Amino acid sequence: MHNDGGRAINQDSVFEIGSVTKTFTALLISLAISRNIIAPDAFIDNLLPASAQLNSALRNKIRVTDLASHQAGLPTLADDQYLASLLRLNARQPFAAVDTRYIQQVLSSTDCVTDYGSYHYSNFSYALLGLIVEQCTGLQYESALAAQLTGPLSMARTTLASPLAANQAGGFTRQGAVAERLIANKIAPAGGLCSTAADLLKYVTAQLNPGDTWLGKAIELSHQAFCVANGFEVGLGWNSISDGARHYFEKTGDTFGNSSLVRFDKQNKIGIVVLSNQQNSSLVAEIADELYCALL
């Protein structure tokens, strides 16, 4: 669990899963589309809270599926001036200041999009999706998640970051230093969830066997390609990757001290979850590749 302790990690140990969270947020949106709460081609204009001001140049421009497939061309909060300013404000916890007001300020200040229709990974887009989830469900994001996804899938240990759990894995940087737990605030729909190997295997099982339910239909929709990136297709939350004769879906996630990867191959009925208490995405990917090859 920790470098300085002797307690072993088990299937119920809690990890921060970072951007794997995006697949849950996108699935909530897919569920709203499947239930006809949101139209498949709906623009975001009438889906956001009334207090959110959309610049005239962006009206009737961005669809909700554009947000979920990273092709809206909006700011990223990852490699842009907004992250730089957040780091100046709080270098250790840059997303702590991202509340609803901040998200709406960024949106109202955005008067153009960058290469709309092309893949540009965006945490900000998923923060907006979180507001849309709250608007169309009438629930706070975590409550909507519990009611519509983690509850039905019996994923009781999949929640937003909470006070340190007894079985919470430690967090360590790539260099091995102790890392702070992520304070996600309203960026949580992009990367704020914690989960366990046991819970995520239930999630993978649902991806492999969606079933003929509203949730099953939403899962199938989230697997459809909405955007083509360099070397893979992008669904709603998931990357769809073809590697020779192999085809699988994948999402990775990193926080300050944890890394994660979820992969599933629908044809071969293979599901893989890798969780690390070190922020080390390349190691997690290497482990997933070795497991995948062994299971084929």
Residue 2: the pLDDT is 86
Sheet holding 15-16, edge to edge: 15-16, 193-195, 159-160
Q: What mean pLDDT is predicted for residues 261-273? A: 98
Which tokens sit at 9? 């990690």
Non-local (6+) Cβ contacts of 33 within 8 A are 39, 40, 64, 65, 218, 221
Non-local (6+) Cβ contacts of 22 within 8 A are 126, 189, 190, 191, 237, 251
CB atoms within 10 A of CB 277: 21
According to DSSP, the residues that pair with 260 across neighbouring strands are: 253, 275
- Cα 281 → chain centroid: 15
CB atoms within 10 A of CB 266: 15
In the numeric block, the tokens 């819970």 are attached to 199
- Tell me the range of 6-15, 48-57, 271-280 where mean pLDDT is highest: 271-280
Instruction: Judge residue 269's burial from the number of C-beta atoms within 10 Å of its C-beta, 0-12 exposed, 13-18 middle, 19 or more buried.
Output: exposed
Which tokens sit at 242? 């073809």
What are 252-263's pLDDT values in tens digits? 999 999 999 999
State percent of the chain over pLDDT 90.
Answer: 92
243 pLDDT higher than 90: no
Q: 197 φ, ψ to 5°?
A: -60, -40
Element (H, E) at 33: helix 21-34
* Pairwise pLDDT comparison (58 vs 5), residue with the higher score: 58
Residue 46: the pLDDT is 92
81 pLDDT higher than 90: yes
Q: What are the Cα distances from residue 202, in Å, to 158, 265, 267?
A: 11, 15, 18
> 15-162+169-295 adopts what CATH topology?
Beta-lactamase (3.40.710)
In the numeric block, the tokens 């994948």 are attached to 250
Domain limits of the chain?
15-162+169-295
User: CA-CA distance, 63 to 136, in Å (whole number)?
Assistant: 15
What are 161-218's pLDDT values in tens digits? 766 677 899 999 999 999 999 999 999 999 999 999 999 999 999 999 999 999 999 9
Residue 163: the pLDDT is 61
The model's confidence at residue 7, banded by pLDDT at 50, 70 and 90, is: confident
- The amino acid at residue 193 is L
Element (H, E) at 271: strand 270-276
- In this structure, are residues 285 and 207 in contact, taking their beta carbons and an 8 Å threshold? no
What are 101-147's pLDDT values in tens digits? 999 999 999 999 999 999 999 999 999 999 999 999 999 999 999 99
Q: What mean pLDDT is predicted for residues 261-289? A: 97
- pLDDT averaged over every residue in the chain: 95
Q: What are the Cα distances from residue 103, in Å, to 96, 112, 127?
A: 12, 16, 7
Please report the beta strands in 124-235, taking only residues with DSSP state E, as ranges in sequence order: 159-160, 193-195, 227-228, 233-234
Residue 245: the pLDDT is 87
3-state secondary structure of 184: coil
Q: 39 φ, ψ to 5°?
A: -70, 145
